[in-house]
Amino acid sequence: MRGALSKLAPAERNTLEIGSCLVLSVLGLGLQLGQWPMWSALVAAVGYLVWVLFYAEVTVQARRRRLTLASAATSNPPAPQPAHEHCAA
């Protein structure tokens, strides 16, 4: 898992780690103080996994979009404008 996290930007890694801490904290409090049933741990784990996959997909798509726009801008320089007849001397 550490290899996958190393490919993330620091802000992305922090977001995932904060989300993990929130889910685990709420789950721990719910199980200990709220007397939630044990199956709620499975629901929390699946919910967190879905959120991580969704966040990762959104992040990857945004990065691909930026890279595509950047490569399109550098590979396709503006075409030279043809000389207009009325401008020719």
- Examine residue 61 and state whether it is found in any structural domain, yes or no: yes
Helix boundaries (H) for the chain: 2-6, 10-32, 39-75
- The answer to whether position 11 is within a domain reads no
Q: In which band, very low, low, confident or very high, does the pLDDT at 58 lie, cut at 50, 70 and 90?
A: confident
How many structural domains are present in the chain? 1
- Would 49 be classed as within a structural domain? yes
Is the per-residue pLDDT at 82 higher than 70?
Answer: no
- Is there a domain that residue 62 lies in? yes
Query: Which residue range is the domain that position 67 belongs to?
Result: 37-71
Two structure tokens written together for 12: 């992305």
Residue 86 DSSP label: G
**pLDDT of 26-41, one tens digit each?**
888 888 888 888 888 8
Domain for residue 13, yes or no? Answer: no
Indicate whether 9 belongs to any domain: no
